[in-house]
């Protein structure tokens, strides 16, 4: 792809994000979590269980969530890199045998 295509794609993305904000200034953009919690509270459902441990503050909860995400990213990155290394090693070995 050349630069012209990238510019067109960037403009298209900006228009897609800006159009709802420009044409619907009074709209409320709520997430699915908010809508789901409203429906659940209207129906009168309650939790099935209580947590074993609750973090003492929201900051610690955010820290644990970020730590969990980082560990997951490391695991996925390791396996992607491992497979890439195996493929590269196989390609090098096949070019040396040719």
pLDDT tens digits for 22-75?
888 787 777 777 788 778 888 777 778 888 989 899 999 999 999 999 999 999
| CA–CA separation, 46 and 6 (whole Å) | 49
Helix (H, G, I), strand (E, B) or coil at 35: helix
Domain residue ranges in the chain: 57-98
| CA–CA separation, 32 and 30 (whole Å) | 7
Q: What is the pLDDT of residue 20?
A: 84
Return the CA Rg of the chain: 24
Q: What is the pLDDT of residue 27?
A: 78
């Amino acid at each position: 792809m050349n630069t012209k295509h990238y510019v067109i794609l960037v403009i298209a993305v900006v228009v897609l994000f800006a159009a709802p904000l420009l044409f619907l200034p009074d709209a409320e953009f709520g997430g699915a979590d908010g809508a789901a919690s409203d429906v659940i509270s209207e129906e009168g459902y309650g939790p099935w269980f209580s947590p074993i441990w609750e973090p003492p503050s929201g900051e610690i909860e955010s820290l644990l969530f970020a730590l969990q995400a980082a560990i997951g990213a490391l695991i996925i990155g390791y396996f992607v890199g491992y497979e890439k290394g195996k493929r590269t090693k196989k390609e090098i070995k096949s070019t040396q045998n040719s």
